[in-house]
Amino acid sequence: MTTTTTLPRAPERARPYRGTKVRRQRVRAAWTFLAPMLITLALVAGWPLLRTFYFSLTDGTLSTLGDASFIGLENYLVYDNGAWYGLLTDPLWWRSVWNTVFFAVVSVSLEAVFGVIVALILNAEFRGRMLVRAAVLIPWAIPTIVSAKMWAWMLNDQFGIINHLLMALGLIDSPIAWTASATYSMWAVIMVDVWKTIPFVALLALAAMQMLPRDCYEAAEVDGIHPIKVFFKVTLPLITPALMVAVIFRMLDALRVFDVIYVLTSNASNTMTMSIYARQQLVEFQDVGYGSAASTLLFLIIALATVAYLYVGRKQLQLGGD
Amino acid sequence: MTSRQFRRLATRVGFWVLVAVVLIYAIFPFYYAVITSLKPSSELFTVSYWLDSLDVSNYVTIFSQGSFVRAIFNSILVSISVVAIALLLGVTASYALGRVRFRGRTTVMLVILGVSMFPQVAVLSGLFEVIRGLGLYNNPAGLILSYTIFTLPFTVWVLTTFMKQLPMELEEAAIMDGATPWVTITKVFLPLMWPAMATTGLLAFIAAWNEFLFALTFTLTDSQRTVPVAIALISGGSQHELPWGPIMAASVTVTVPLVILVMIFQRRIVSGLTAGAVKG
């Protein structure tokens, strides 16, 4: 979901209360109001995260969570009988890391390009614009599971409409097994994800475009500058900060992708991502220790990306003089 | 016709073609799901782009299964409870974060931002233990609890943004009249917050309605499942005999309410999605 790059500031005028009885009462009330939320977050996020870190250092299984014993870093890496074992030596894990990164980079890039194009269309003034905007939102409103199933049916190798259409157009000779083949399954997954999330990027880009000053465009029109040049010289630089926010959000989302891939291609190694890998170990193989190690690494990777995001976001805002 | 007029005409035609492509791209998959769901199973395997006759047997099939009806009920129960909890905790917390200056405020905001970035898989094993410890495994209540991990940070963040935009004078007047913070929230701010709450509530509802990973992991039996899991687990005799008709009927059934909600509230949703992200 959405959040922001900068922290909202409390109103400046609260200052005069400092040290007064009213102010003390307000601060006490603030913490009282925050407590239920903070306790809930601690229960569903903080504590479980710490437990996951701990489980990753044990040999726990799903049925023996209570009396798992501490085994240090053996789930990650261990030297035994002349060979290295553990998560860091598992080719399937590295395969899923690569798949995740590939999926995230390709799908988010496509979403950014198409999102901006759709936003440009919606930013033009034409009859029925509100209707088109509503229609563009539809993919975003459809549950991920449903969109995965819809596309699975359209991509069905024997009876799917996509193969039917491509064959009717003469683009392919024989039906393609989109979700089963090693070559196409990753692209099928990317295609579905791009379809579903273009609206999000488009709406954020559109909101940024609608806040741009009109006089730049009037000046460009008077000077007879080609619209494509105006786009690259004026629009794109001005919407870049907002676009970056959308892109980084989508990136963090894509790095933890689970449902669309789970429904389309299940646990196939061609499209296995870090989340799929971790859940398979945790739930299907019931190996909580090993699965938690994978979850922990996924968390660290996303945490690194988040820190990078906050750092870049702050830099961007400073550069933008905001 | 001069070349200039011709160019303008070509641009216009090109533009409308582009609009048509975008429209078809956005709508066609859903349209195709709808017509598939209205075909009898005998016609399912011949590709057609429109409907010759109407057949509701797929809908009869899914609604005669008690488990699907039960799943819809579970989804409604879970989503509405999640929205209620997120709004209750969100409004009070956003008052504290949006209206009061205190030490540690920035830290709290950073913690919330951090939690919203959590990959769900990272807390899966720990949360599994918590839910089982509380006796909520295979129970919608366990899902309600676990969904706060992604609805609460988002709700608090957006409501805080709205809350700090409200004029200071309102609150000063309330303080002068001796109102406690609780009274200030419920009597002064709450009436003004309804639009923001409707937006965040709607987004939280959609997020909860669509959630899959926790619902798949923390439930075991058909009677406790939510709709996304129920649809994902509809299966036939083998991988190649998936009952596509009923799957599409179920998909359309759970999507239509969402699409209608989005159509009605599209302005609100757009403002909610962009509230945090662009204005900052």
Tens of pLDDT, residues B24-69: 999 999 999 999 889 887 887 777 887 878 888 889 888 888 888 9
Instruction: Report CB contact under 8 Å: A132, B22.
Output: yes
From the number of C-beta atoms within 10 Å of its C-beta (0-12, 13-18, 19+), residue A213 rates as exposed
Chain B contact for A79 (CB, 8 A cutoff)? no
Q: Give, in degrees to the nearest 5, the angle at Cα A54 between A94 and B217.
A: 70
Is residue A276 one of the residues assigned to a domain? yes
> What residues 157-176 of chain B have any CB closer than 8 A to a CB of chain A?
157-158, 160-161, 164, 168, 175
C-alpha B271/C-alpha B265 separation (Å) is: 10
A16 touches B: beta carbon within 8 Å: no
Note whether residue B162 is domain-resident: yes
**How does pLDDT run across A61-103, given as a tens digit for each residue?**
887 777 778 888 888 888 888 888 888 888 899 999 999 999 9
Same domain for B196 and B88? yes
Residue A43 placed within a domain: no
- Mean pLDDT score across all residues of chain B: 86
Number of domains in chain A: 1
How far from A256 is each of A32, A298, A305, B76, CA to CA, in Å? 34, 8, 12, 26
Q: Is residue A61 part of a domain?
A: no
Residue B73 has pLDDT above 90, yes or no: yes
Residues B115, B235, single domain; the answer is yes
Selection from A242-246, A273-277, B189-193 with the highest mean pLDDT = A273-277
Q: Is the pLDDT at A1 greater than 70, yes or no?
A: no
CA-based R_g, chain A, Å: 25
Asked whether residue B56 is assigned to any structural domain, the reply reads no
- Binned at pLDDT 50, 70 and 90, residue A303 comes out as confident
A78 located within any domain: no
Residue B77 in contact with residue B89, Cβ under 8 Å? no
DSSP B147-178: HHHHHHHHHHHHHHHHHTTS-HHHHHHHHHTT
Give a yes or no: residue A84 inside a domain. no
Task: Name the pLDDT band for A8 (thresholds 50, 70, 90).
Answer: low
Residues B128 and B210 in one domain: yes
User: pLDDT, tens digit, for every residue of B166-206?
Assistant: 888 888 888 888 888 888 888 888 888 888 888 889 889 98
pLDDT for position A195: 94
Residue A28 pLDDT: 86
Domain contains B161: yes
Q: Is residue A215 part of a domain?
A: yes
Nearest chain A CA: its distance from B1 CA (Å):
22
Mean pLDDT of B57-82: 90
Q: Higher-confidence residue: B216 or B100?
A: B216
Name the pLDDT band for B280 (thresholds 50, 70, 90): very low
- Statement to judge: residues B79 and B187 lie in one domain: yes
Q: Tell me the whole-structure pTM to 2 decimals.
A: 0.88
Is B255 an 8 Å CB contact of chain A? Answer: yes
Q: What is the pLDDT of residue B279?
A: 39
Residues of chain A neighbouring B181 (CB-CB closer than 8 A): 25-26, 29-30, 33
Residue B83 maps to a domain: yes
The answer to whether residue B53 is domain-embedded is: no
**Cα Dmax for chain A:** 81
CATH of the domain at A200: 1.10.3720.10
Residues making up chain A, counted from first to last: 322
Interchain proximity A153–B244, CB inside 8 Å: yes
- The residue segments making up the domain with residue A113 are 97-319
Q: Domains in chain B: how many in total?
A: 2
Q: What is the DSSP string of A131-142?
A: HHHHHHHHHHHS
- Report if residue B114 sits inside a domain: yes
Q: How many CB pairs under 8 A join A and B?
A: 328
Do residues A126 and A310 make contact, with C-beta atoms less than 8 angstroms apart? no
Q: Examine residue A91 and state whether it is found in any structural domain, yes or no.
A: no
Please indicate if any CB of chain B lies within 8 Å of the CB of A26: yes
CATH number assigned to the domain comprising residue B249 = 1.10.3720.10
Q: How far is B242 from chain A (nearest CA, A)?
A: 10
| Residue A54 placed within a domain | no
Residue B49 lies in a domain: no
Residues B135 and B249 in one domain: yes
Domain with B26 in it: 3-43
Please check the confidence at residue B18 and state whether its pLDDT lies above 60. Answer: yes
Judge whether A318 is closer than 8 Å to chain B, CB to CB. Answer: no
B40 touches chain A (CB under 8 A): no
Global ipTM: 0.88
pLDDT at A5 over 60: no
